[in-house]
Amino acid sequence: MAESPAVKVLFVGDVVGGVGRRALAALLPALRERHRPQFVVVNGENAAGGVGITERTARELLDLGADAITLGNHAYRHREVYGFLDREPRIVRPANYPKGSPGHGHTVVERDAVRLGIVNLAGMVFMTAMRSPFSEVDAVLAELRGKTDALVVDMHGEATSEKVAMGWHLDGRVLACLGTHTHVPTADARVLPGGTAYITDVGMTGARGGVLGVKREQALQRFLTLTQVRFETSDEDPWLNAVLVEADGDGRATSIETLLVPARL
Ligand SMILES: [Fe+2]
Ligand SMILES: [Fe+2]
């Protein structure tokens, strides 16, 4: 990798509903104080009522101190956000979605003379996307060559195999390849041999007392009866799930630390 400055990034897993936003608001100041990340990146695909994101909830995440927001398969859930996805450079939806669809798949944010690139990808195993995330990320990296000092890829996917494979595909080419979407943190955070920080899933920032952030009675009712049940966001036992990635001066990750923090709201 090319010469680049040291960098520290806090990446927060899928923020689910109002309770997730409140957990982030409650915990982020202390996390900033303690870890002093230059950049905070937040996956916001569940920020609005548990599914999707709106302009208002996106602005709330940015106002809380997110330098960039990544999304996923729920990016287009709320039609009203489409214009905002086009206008706001700090929010990204999967790069391998149709070129003409709202928003963009990568962005570059700058702080302390460090340019951090952020790329969002959607998996294609048990999930819909337009193009392979593997060839797509190659194209994005080629486009960003020379324009960033470090790159973080949010690989939003259902299948662990696809995310592990993406980690190997990107090893030595980006600072971090971080999995999102399942809302369950995995125990495999590590720096790959080429210097890329990797985790299969960061987890979620939301209510652990539910089922992936949904009220557990409602999720259970669907499993038990196979009927349509309206899902609401659980607010029981909120936690913040995140990772902290650090890089030295040559652009290689030196550490990735999982942060699983209960929120007392
Ligand atoms: Fe999610
Ligand atoms: Fe998702």
Tokens of 92: 């990204």
Measured in degrees and rounded to the nearest 5, phi and psi for residue 133 equal -65, -25
Strands 106-111 and 114-122: antiparallel
pLDDT tens track, the chain, 265 positions: 445 678 999 999 999 999 999 999 999 999 999 999 999 999 999 999 999 999 999 999 999 999 999 999 999 999 999 999 999 999 999 999 999 999 999 999 999 899 999 999 999 999 999 999 999 999 999 999 999 999 999 999 999 999 999 999 999 999 999 999 999 999 999 999 999 999 999 999 999 999 999 999 999 999 999 999 999 999 999 999 999 999 987 779 999 999 999 999 9
Q: What's residue 4's pLDDT?
A: 60
How far apart, in whole angstroms, are the C-alpha atoms of residue 24 and residue 167?
Answer: 27
Residues, CB within 5 angstroms of ligand 2 (ion):
72-73, 181
* ∠ CA 82-218-221, rounded to 5°: 130
Residues, CB within 5 angstroms of ligand 1 (ion):
14, 45-46
| Cα–ligand 1 centroid distance for 109 (angstroms) | 23
Note the ligand closest to the C-alpha atom of 233: 1
Helix (H) or strand (E) holding 10: strand 7-12
CB 232 within 8 A of CB 214: yes
Q: What does the buried/exposed string (b/e) look like for 157-193 if buried means 16 or more CB atoms within 10 Å of the residue's CB?
A: bbbeebbbbbbebbbebbbbbbbbbbbebbeebebbe
| Cα–ligand 2 centroid distance for 129 (angstroms) | 12
183 an active-site residue? no
| Cα–ligand 2 centroid distance for 147 (angstroms) | 28
Chain center to CA of 181: 8
| Cα–ligand 1 centroid distance for 181 (angstroms) | 4
Q: What's residue 251's pLDDT?
A: 75
Residue 208, class by beta-carbon neighbours within 10 Å (0-12 exposed, 13-18 middle, 19+ buried)?
Answer: buried
Note the ligand closest to the C-alpha atom of 43: 1
CB 197 within 8 A of CB 256: yes
How far apart, in whole angstroms, are the C-alpha atoms of residue 239 and residue 217?
Answer: 19
| Cα–ligand 1 centroid distance for 112 (angstroms) | 31
Sheet holding 176-180, edge to edge: 106-111, 114-122, 150-156, 176-180, 197-199, 190-191
| Cα–ligand 2 centroid distance for 256 (angstroms) | 22
CB 202 within 8 A of CB 11: yes
Note the ligand closest to the C-alpha atom of 122: 2
| Sign of the dihedral defined by the CA atoms of residues 216, 222, 224, 227, in that order | positive
| Cα–ligand 2 centroid distance for 2 (angstroms) | 33
Q: Indicate the residue type of 149.
A: D
How far apart, in whole angstroms, are the C-alpha atoms of residue 206 and residue 44?
Answer: 11
Note the ligand closest to the C-alpha atom of 184: 1
